[in-house]
């Protein structure tokens, strides 16, 4: 055998061994074999490519890019070289380069289903949902039995709230891969969103045997149990979550933590981990654009949200847009999440200077549009709630970026936003360590009041589904905010106040049935728990809400807009001051309304305050009288005053940016103090 033939045989043997070592996860052995091959044949394309992928697996991604590029230089007609270069570039956050690689691979091999799937992932990370869907559909047309693509496509459909289609994707996946714990978790999430709580729980039980140490599984299961008011298993899941946290496993969506008894430090760590993955997957690279005019006649403020519609955020922001002073600020609404023909959407469109629909924009293209619009301060109104477009903020399209209103927590990643807009009660200066953002504190409550746009006329009890007599405690929160400790206190109040009722918002039939069962277990007749059906208009809801005698807050996640609704309707709210942001908003509202005596610290004091008011009609009447006066004179519902302070806060942010500094802002109210405040 000639020497060259011997070398060729030896190289073939070593390459087969290197592939085997790579597949077995023995990266150092695979790397060494690749180097031995290349010492004999420096232009061995497959060895160059395998060395690059071995280094990628070892976490040396920049080196991996260099070696795979060398393989392409040897043989640029190999489609998998281009596809795998795209994989490495995507993990480096270089999404546009990765997309070019996948398209090159598909030009060489049009039926390359893996390349289509990877292309869909990169486009989805860029926020280009339409093209991502087309790529996934192309992959599945070529290879219908493609589990990874079905999973990725299902996630895209879930993000777009296309729940039936997403469910179908994951059911197809599970038919192919029944031992996929992730797929069982994802199917459970879909079923929860569709209010099929028992089916969702069955999925999570399947997942538990496959991924017992999964934080996302545990968080989603807990969230499902809370939404269904199915509390029996909550302690065991909380115990498992605590064990995972103690082992350093804080890797779920932090939004799902806000309704659980966890510390602010744990919420921040979880948000940090989640934020890092989110911004890398978005391929975020700052645009590097310097603002052309840093001394504008008026600031350009951009508000970014998918909730500028018939949603609590939309209802609050409609008034903010209308109250902004066009001589001080130019307001642009950047909306995503689909069009909606609703009076609130129309008010928002009419109330801002410009309304831009970003649905068809990728994250980077949306960021370019925002930068080209000359936005000075970009305000995200959504945080980690579903359907967010934080990938836009990761490109830093505006010199100053802030988060406000829609998500009561830190994003955990300072490069996403500079400021979190809060107030001295909900996010006090001494809690600055709970946030990755710099605090920018408004003088009063961080929630904008909706003023007197809504009717204050009361309807009668019969029309609202209430009996003619009986003291009415109410809580119109989402049942996901309820928990056994809260319900224990509420049922004790019903015991202590004969003939009283607990008036709750109708949500889903399973939660309602379980709440009645929980009342019975605590010795309360199920007929004393009354559910209010959804009204056609918000005005009708506020009109009937005035029939309640006392509103009861929730913990660890307080009433937010629901609390404001009660207070505007003239119903006092008893709250308990929590540790974290989400559990301090009730206290913030009451401070801004001049009623701090309704704020408890702990359940015992909460119970005492509520019981005293329910038993003392004269005392309750005095509180209601003060509330009736204060809502027209104190800051909480003074929307013009709120917006003037918000504009002053923006101006301070901008001055600090021009001065090259960023420090906590504690804004003082320039308005005259109101009586008693």
- Rounded-to-integer distance, Cα 217 and Cα 180, Å: 12
The pLDDT of residue 559 is 96
How many whole angstroms separate alpha carbon 82 and alpha carbon 395?
A: 26
CATH value of 264-449+640-672 in 3.40.50.11380, 3.10.20.520, 1.10.10.10, 1.20.210.10: 3.40.50.11380
Q: What is the pLDDT of residues 380-410, one digit of tens each?
A: 999 999 889 999 999 999 999 999 999 999 9
pLDDT at 251 (0 to 100): 86
- Flag whether pLDDT at 103 surpasses 90: yes
Distance CA 269, CA 290 (A): 32
What is the rounded CA–CA span in Å between residue 107 and residue 316? 50
Helix (H, G, I), strand (E, B) or coil at 373: coil
* Distance, CA of 145 to chain centre: 32
What's the CA angle centered on 608, arms 602 and 613, to 5 degrees?
130
**217-249 pLDDT per residue, tens:** 999 999 999 999 999 999 999 999 999 999 999
The yes-or-no verdict on residue 429 having pLDDT over 90 is yes
pLDDT at 275: 76
pLDDT(37) > 70: yes
Q: What is the pLDDT, as a whole number, of residue 181? A: 95
- Paired with 330 in beta bridges are 300
The better pLDDT of the pair 446, 337 is held by: 446
pLDDT at 8 exceeding the cut of 90: no
Tell me the pairing of strands 472-475 and 501-505.
Answer: parallel
Q: According to the model, what pLDDT value does residue 161 have?
A: 87
Written as one string, the DSSP assignment of 405-465 is: SS--S--S-TTT-SEEEE-TTTS-GGGGGG-SSEEEE-SS-SSPP-TT-S------TTTTT
**Residue 677: per-residue pLDDT:** 43
Q: What angle do CA 333, 334, 336 make, to 5 degrees?
A: 130
Say what the pLDDT of residue 672 is: 60
Mean residue pLDDT across the chain? 93
Query: Residue range 415-435: average pLDDT?
Result: 97
Q: What per-residue confidence (pLDDT) applies to 676?
A: 44
Task: Give the residue among 450, 428, 426, 213 at the shortest CA–CA distance from 313.
Answer: 450
In this structure, whether the domain defined by 472-637 belongs to CATH 3.40.50.2000 is answered with: yes
Q: Above pLDDT 90, what percent of the chain?
A: 86
pLDDT of amino acid 212: 93
Model confidence over 243-254: pLDDT tens digits? 999 999 988 899
Give ranges for CATH 3.40.50.2000 in the chain.
472-637
Longest dimension (CA), the chain: 109
pLDDT at 120: 98
Q: What is the tens place of the pLDDT at every residue in 175-188?
A: 999 999 999 999 99
Residues 633-642 have a mean pLDDT of 96
- The predicted-structure confidence for 439-495, as pLDDT tens digits, reads as follows 999 999 999 987 555 555 668 899 999 999 999 999 999 999 999 999 999 999 999
Of 242-251, 327-336, 517-526, give the lowest mean pLDDT range.
242-251
User: Which CATH number does 144-249 carry?
Assistant: 1.25.40.10
Confidence of residue 2 (pLDDT cuts 50, 70, 90): very low
Give me the pLDDT at residue 236, please: 96
Percent of the chain with pLDDT over 70: 94
Query: Looking at residue 337, what is its pLDDT?
Result: 83
| CB contact at 8 A, 319 and 639 | yes
Number of other residues whose CB lies within 10 A of the CB of residue 148: 16
**pTM value?**
0.91
Q: Is the pLDDT of residue 261 over 60?
A: yes
Question: What are the residue ranges of helices labelled H in 303-445?
Answer: 312-323, 343-351, 363-372, 390-393
pLDDT in tens, 278-330: 654 555 556 655 554 578 899 999 999 999 999 999 999 999 999 999 999 99
Helices (H), 497-638: 509-521, 538-545, 561-568, 585-592, 603-615, 617-633
- CATH 3.40.50.11380 in the chain, residues? 264-449+640-672
């Amino acid at each position: 055998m000639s020497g060259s033939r011997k070398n060729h045989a030896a190289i073939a043997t070593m390459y087969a061994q290197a592939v085997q070592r790579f597949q077995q996860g023995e990266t150092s052995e695979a790397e060494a074999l690749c180097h031995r091959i290349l010492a004999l044949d420096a232009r061995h394309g497959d060895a160059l490519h395998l060395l690059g992928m071995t280094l990628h697996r070892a976490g040396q991604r920049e080196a991996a890019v260099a070696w795979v590029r060398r393989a392409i230089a040897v043989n640029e007609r190999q489609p998998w070289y281009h596809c795998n270069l795209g994989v490495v570039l995507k993990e480096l956050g270089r999404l546009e380069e990765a997309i070019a690689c996948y398209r090159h691979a598909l030009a060489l091999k049009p039926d390359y289903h893996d390349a289509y799937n990877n292309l869909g992932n990169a486009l989805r990370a860029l926020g280009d949902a339409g093209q991502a869907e087309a790529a996934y559909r192309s992959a599945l047309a070529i290879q219908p039995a493609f589990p990874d693509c079905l999973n990725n496509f299902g996630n895209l459909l879930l993000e777009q709230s296309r729940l039936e289609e997403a469910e179908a994707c994951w059911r197809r996946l599970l038919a192919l891969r029944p031992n996929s714990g992730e797929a069982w978790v994802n199917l459970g999430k879909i079923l929860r969103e569709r209010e099929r709580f028992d089916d969702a729980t069955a999925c999570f039980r399947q997942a538990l045997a496959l991924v017992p140490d999964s934080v996302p599984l545990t968080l989603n299961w807990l969230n499902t149990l809370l939404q269904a008011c199915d509390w029996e298993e909550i302690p065991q899941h909380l115990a498992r979550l605590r064990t995972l946290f103690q082992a350093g496993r804080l890797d779920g969506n932090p939004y799902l933590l806000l309704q659980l008894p966890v510390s602010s430090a744990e919420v921040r760590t979880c948000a940090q981990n989640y934020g890092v993955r989110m911004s890398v997957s978005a391929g975020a690279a700052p645009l590097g654009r310097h603002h052309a005019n840093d001394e504008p006649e008026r600031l350009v403020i951009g508000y970014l949200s998918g909730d500028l519609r018939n949603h609590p955020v939309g209802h609050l922001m409609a008034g903010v847009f209308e109250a902004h002073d066009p001589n001080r600020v130019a307001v642009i609404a950047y909306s995503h999440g689909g069009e909606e023909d609703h009076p609130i959407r129309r008010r928002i469109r009419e109330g801002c200077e410009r309304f831009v629909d970003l649905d068809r924009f990728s994250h980077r293209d949306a960021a370019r549009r925002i930068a080209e619009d000359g936005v000075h301060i970009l305000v995200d109104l959504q945080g980690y709630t579903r359907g967010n477009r934080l990938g836009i903020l990761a490109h830093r399209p505006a010199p100053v970026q802030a988060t406000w209103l829609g998500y009561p927590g830190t994003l955990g990643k300072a490069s996403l936003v500079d400021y979190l807009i809060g107030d001295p009660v909900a996010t006090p200066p001494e809690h600055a360590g709970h946030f990755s953002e710099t605090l920018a504190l408004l003088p009063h409550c961080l929630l904008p009041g909706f003023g007197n746009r809504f009717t204050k006329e009361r309807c009668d009890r019969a029309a609202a589904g209430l009996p003619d007599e009986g003291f009415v405690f109410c809580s119109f929160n989402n049942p996901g905010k309820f928990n056994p400790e809260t319900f224990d206190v509420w049922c004790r109040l019903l015991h202590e106040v004969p003939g009283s009722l607990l008036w709750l918002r109708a949500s889903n039939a399973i939660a309602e049935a379980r709440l009645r069962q929980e009342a019975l277990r605590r010795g309360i007749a199920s007929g004393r728990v009354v559910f209010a059906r959804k009204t056609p208009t918000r005005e009708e809801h506020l009109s009937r809400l005035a029939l309640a005698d006392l509103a009861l807050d929730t913990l660890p996640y307080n009433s937010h807009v629901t609390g404001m609704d009660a207070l505007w309707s003239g119903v006092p709210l008893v709250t308990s001051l929590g540790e974290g942001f989400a559990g301090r908003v009730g206290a913030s509202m009451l401070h801004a309304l001049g009623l701090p005596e309704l704020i408890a610290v702990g359940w015992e004091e909460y119970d005492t305050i509520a019981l005293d008011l329910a038993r003392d009609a004269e005392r309750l009447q005095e509180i209601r009288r003060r509330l009736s006066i204060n809502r027209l004179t104190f800051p909480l519902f003074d929307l013009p005053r709120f917006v003037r302070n918000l504009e002053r806060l923006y101006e301070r942010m901008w001055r600090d940016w021009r001065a090259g500094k960023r420090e906590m802002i504690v804004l003082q109210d320039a308005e005259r103090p109101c009586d008693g405040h």
